[in-house]
Structure 1
């Protein structure tokens, strides 16, 4: 997908601060450890999460609330930088300001999901950004219906996880249908996501999840079943 970074004065200010503040605290030894742990998905600066969040607060101090163009510019510019912590900053920023974005932001969210994808960015984007967009505009459910069948496993995982925080607002029929749609997927991350979204929904309706798993046990993978029933 080709995307255009919109002009944003706010993004200019934040990116200038960010690319000055984060590198000052870089730790090469931690960076090497993080890169190995994350299967070499990207280079790292080596910022532990508490320090990174503290630095992010310093970067954002005194800045105004963004509009959608600002969110788009900041997220896309962060993902153009190689070190993974910049992607984390983008995800955190979008989580905080997803209500400032319209349903038209969904293609940008998909671009973020599919850019150097791994669970560390995809899962937060799924539950807090894509999930927030769909909650605000239920018309986007049809997009999720397309995403669940996508050849890109991270897009399918996003569809599975987008209702993760919905609780009583969960579309149970869709949740279960999505799980069955990908029940035979060969990849660990999709099978794990099936179990995870079921386990999370079980906190709201344990009987529904238990009944679904027992009914469809023959179609679900052992991993998905084990994860789904972990707390039941």
Structure 2
């Protein structure tokens, strides 16, 4: 059995703390560890995490995500992504709930990757996708709009249309950016669909500009 108490292993770099916090509008505390160093230091634990039981993995994820420094929250997300293909439905539900815990674009978009990988692996978009679109929280809906990023030919265009139209009238920057991002990504494999959709629907200037960037 693996050690149930994961270590706090990241160093402190005082010279990086203030600039990193400022980049995130001083919403979070940082140790000053940049992404490359964090991932390198995490590598041994990431390998160890593959041997954890489902209960142990859940304990590790919760332990790191409740730490006060943002980098450890990134660690939790990194570990979730590293183990996503053998996550249980309970793990998935826990990850879903973390979208709204200390949310900002950095954590929200990282959780999106975890959740989307799970959904694609289990082919359950039709079952769980609408939950995102009905949410009152904008961050959850942002994830719902962008769930299919990188899915290419496996993108469900009907779900994409439903996601965009359900959020079309929300003037929030992060929602409109997500709409444009989703359209731009899908235009790589189906430009005609995107071109027709943009022509036939009244989109915000931001969503249209982002969505048509590759057309």
Could you tell me the TM-score, scaled by structure 1's length?
A: 0.86
Is residue 21–residue 28 contact of structure 2 (8 Å, CA) maintained in 1? yes
Measured in 2, the distance between the counterparts of 1:48 and 1:95 equals 18
RMSD across aligned positions (CA): 1.8
Determine which of 17, 27, 34 is the counterpart of 1:48: 34
Determine which of 74, 78, 83 is the counterpart of 2:60: 74
Determine which of 93, 113, 128 is the counterpart of 1:107: 93
Determine which of 9, 12, 25 is the counterpart of 1:39: 25
Which structure 2 segments of 5+ residues have no match? none
Instruction: Note if 1:225 corresponds to 2:211.
Output: no
- Tell me the equivalent position of 2:82: 96
Cα deviation for residue 118 of structure 1 reads 0.8
Question: What are the equivalent positions in structure 2 for 1:80-159 lying under 5 Å apart?
Answer: 80-126=66-112, 128-159=113-144
Cα deviation for residue 101 of structure 1 reads 0.6
Could you tell me the TM-score, scaled by structure 2's length?
A: 0.92
Measured in 2, the distance between the counterparts of 1:9 and 1:39 equals 38
Which structure 1 segments of 5+ residues have no match? 1-7
- Tell me the equivalent position of 1:5: none
Number of aligned positions between the proteins: 215
Instruction: Note if 1:191 corresponds to 2:176.
Output: yes
Determine which of 187, 191, 195 is the counterpart of 1:206: 191
Summarize deviations over 1:30-53 as a string: whole Å, max 9, x none.
111111110122100001111111
- Tell me the equivalent position of 1:3: none
